[in-house]
Chains A and B, each alone.
Chain A
């Protein structure tokens, strides 16, 4: 009896939902619909190419939505409150495993900028050393953290929550180690007078694509042209930002005054090696398969679907 009701409701839903895309397209023909691109942090060089892009040239009216700590970009895409969003590759796999149909389109960072930052005075040699003493502030739910734990164990280090971009605890305590983007927080720490050493997470073999432009499978099916145009615009934007970051930095700085202009320039320069590629934003099956296998081993996803489902090259 209950399943009958659910069946009927399900049928009703499917019929109802069929009407929506038609209505949507009719509406889209009439007016230029605002496209929302949800960022997962405040405007900073990490998103340089997205701010530099000339969307209008490709017939797109795009609004960038700045984020902050905990902005759920992958859920926003799934719920339809943003057409596009910036996520990391591992988030995409985790989301898909939960039934959220998100697809990657463009990987701004070809290499993972995540790392662990320590005071240089501690004279540590490798990531494993970091886990031998002191305090480590990380987001322990993230796959790389779980991988660290699996490889080295957390028995000798005190693990505490990551304070986001805030450096107060790090600056005040020599034995405090903190998760960071190798291109960002270390520079800021040095600017505040502390010499740091950084261990990229990719050192332990974990290297997902990062700052990935993603969208819903639904949008891809309904409007592949929009997705294609987005990717083209964004690719051009990143090229432009790599060649000349200054004007875009100025715009982003106005939106995010918490970081000074000099830092913007320095970070933009530092992140170039992680972004630069023959084809900006391109992704390969092999990388995705590696990541899927790693996550399945960690138990974060139930099984690794074929890589084609995770990404499109447009």
Chain B
């Protein structure tokens, strides 16, 4: 058995154990089926309603990925801006924290007024919810560059922008990627919340199934949302491996 198939089996074990245990517990009546449906029921629902669920998954994926890409670009740009001086940091960083703390449900009606019902609200919601870790991690990475290397650049007369792009930014990449890992999962959550409000995708499936008392469908949609989150996470890991493989301890054997 090679290394990666062993890894895959190890990762799948807890999931299999929980699934089997859950199935047994629900069938025996220890857990009530209308609260937590048996995994077999969830599976059947996925198969039976697959077209609706996968169309919804595609919509949510679009919203989450777009929101994530936007928060990556904007988050890095904002962090670069904040890193330019202490005064700017002190003046503006607290407002960045606002993105972290604002309860998205509270500003939902406003989102709908500004962006309308549909994909734009979903992307806006995913963006708002996922941007802060990008800003925080990027800024931290940029500011914690090795001081000796900064001295080295200064010695050779490098301008601030050269130091930023040739030194601080590459040095910050491991931390930026950490921020992106967190942001990916948040973007999925943000997209789903946006869909509760904006009415489409998996969020809408969950909301409607809930009012229909169809817990099996709720769980099926939630499961697919988790798969989406995992896929995004995996994609970022791949990028991380490619970018950092040569030189960062986190990606070396």
Give A residues with C-beta under 8 Å from B: 2, 5-6, 9-10, 13-14, 70, 72, 74-75, 78-79, 91, 94-95, 97-100, 135, 139-142, 158-161, 163, 166, 168-169, 172, 300
Q: Are A94 and B28 in contact (CB under 8 A)?
A: no
| Chain B positions 16 through 34: 1 when the CB is less than 8 Å from some CB of chain A, otherwise 0 | 0000000011011110111
Q: Are B24 and A5 in contact (CB under 8 A)?
A: yes
Instruction: From B30, B109, B209, give the contact of A141 (CB < 8 A).
Output: B209
Instruction: From B110, B117, B208, B215, give the contact of A160 (CB < 8 A).
Output: B117
Select from chain A the residue with minimum beta-carbon distance to B204: A161
Closest chain B CB from A68 CB (angstroms)? 10
CA distance A86 to B215 in the complex (A): 19
What is the total number of residues of chain B having a CB less than 8 Å from a CB of chain A? 29
23 pairs of residues in contact across A and B, judged by CB atoms under 8 Å: A5-B24, A6-B24, A9-B24, A13-B28, A13-B29, A70-B210, A74-B213, A78-B35, A79-B32, A79-B35, A98-B34, A99-B32, A99-B33, A100-B32, A141-B207, A141-B208, A141-B211, A141-B212, A161-B117, A161-B207, A163-B109, A168-B110, A169-B113
Closest chain B CB from A189 CB (angstroms)? 15
CA distance A172 to B116 in the complex (A): 12
User: In the complex, which residues of chain B have a beta carbon less than 8 angstroms from the beta carbon of A74?
Assistant: 213
Q: Are A95 and B199 in contact (CB under 8 A)?
A: no
User: How many contacts between A and B, using CB within 8 angstroms?
Assistant: 80
Instruction: From B25, B27, B34, B113, give the contact of A95 (CB < 8 A).
Output: B34
Closest chain A CB from B166 CB (angstroms)? 49
Any chain A CB within 8 A of the CB of B197?
yes
Q: Are B113 and A6 in contact (CB under 8 A)?
A: no
Closest chain A CB from B116 CB (angstroms)? 9
Any chain A CB within 8 A of the CB of B169?
no
CA distance A74 to B214 in the complex (A): 13
Since A97-B213, A139-B208 are in contact, a sample of 5 more A-B pairs with Cβ atoms closer than 8 Å, ordered by chain A residue number, is A9-B28, A75-B35, A99-B32, A163-B108, A172-B113
Q: Are B211 and A142 in contact (CB under 8 A)?
A: yes
Closest chain A CB from B49 CB (angstroms)? 13
User: In the complex, which residues of chain A have a beta carbon less than 8 angstroms from the beta carbon of B34?
Assistant: 75, 78, 95, 98-100
Q: Are A168 and B113 in contact (CB under 8 A)?
A: yes
Given contacts A6-B27, A9-B30, contact A161 B212 (CB under 8 A): no
CA distance A60 to B196 in the complex (A): 39
Q: Are A98 and B213 in contact (CB under 8 A)?
A: yes
Given contacts A140-B208, A168-B110, contact A161 B24 (CB under 8 A): no
Q: Are B33 and A161 in contact (CB under 8 A)?
A: no
User: In the complex, which residues of chain A have a beta carbon less than 8 angstroms from the beta carbon of B209?
Assistant: 141
Which 8 A-B residue pairings sit nearest by Cβ, starting from the closest?
A141-B211, A141-B208, A9-B28, A94-B213, A98-B34, A100-B34, A168-B109, A160-B117
Select from chain A the residue with minimum beta-carbon distance to B112: A169
User: In the complex, which residues of chain A have a beta carbon less than 8 angstroms from the beta carbon of B196?
Assistant: 161
User: In the complex, which residues of chain A have a beta carbon less than 8 angstroms from the beta carbon of B117?
Assistant: 135, 158, 160-161
Q: Are A161 and B199 in contact (CB under 8 A)?
A: yes
User: In the complex, which residues of chain A have a beta carbon less than 8 angstroms from the beta carbon of B24?
Assistant: 2, 5-6, 9
Given contacts A79-B35, A99-B33, A168-B109, contact A300 B28 (CB under 8 A): no
Instruction: From A9, A10, A141, A160, give the contact of B210 (CB < 8 A).
Output: A141
Closest chain B CB from A291 CB (angstroms)? 15
CA distance A243 to B28 in the complex (A): 50
Q: Are A163 and B197 in contact (CB under 8 A)?
A: yes
| Chain B positions 196 through 232: 1 when the CB is less than 8 Å from some CB of chain A, otherwise 0 | 1111000010011111110100000000000000000
Closest chain A CB from B54 CB (angstroms)? 19
CA distance A140 to B108 in the complex (A): 19
Q: Are A91 and B213 in contact (CB under 8 A)?
A: yes
User: In the complex, which residues of chain B have a beta carbon less than 8 angstroms from the beta carbon of A95?
Assistant: 34, 213
User: In the complex, which residues of chain A have a beta carbon less than 8 angstroms from the beta carbon of B211?
Assistant: 139, 141-142
Select from chain B the residue with minimum beta-carbon distance to A17: B29
Select from chain B the residue with minimum beta-carbon distance to A16: B30
Closest chain A CB from B83 CB (angstroms)? 38
Interfacial residues of chain B within 6-50, with CB under 8 A of chain A in the complex: 24-25, 27-30, 32-35
Select from chain B the residue with minimum beta-carbon distance to A12: B28
User: In the complex, which residues of chain B have a beta carbon less than 8 angstroms from the beta carbon of A140?
Assistant: 208
User: In the complex, which residues of chain A have a beta carbon less than 8 angstroms from the beta carbon of B33?
Assistant: 98-99
Instruction: From A9, A78, A141, A163, give the contact of B32 (CB < 8 A).
Output: A78
Closest chain A CB from B200 CB (angstroms)? 9
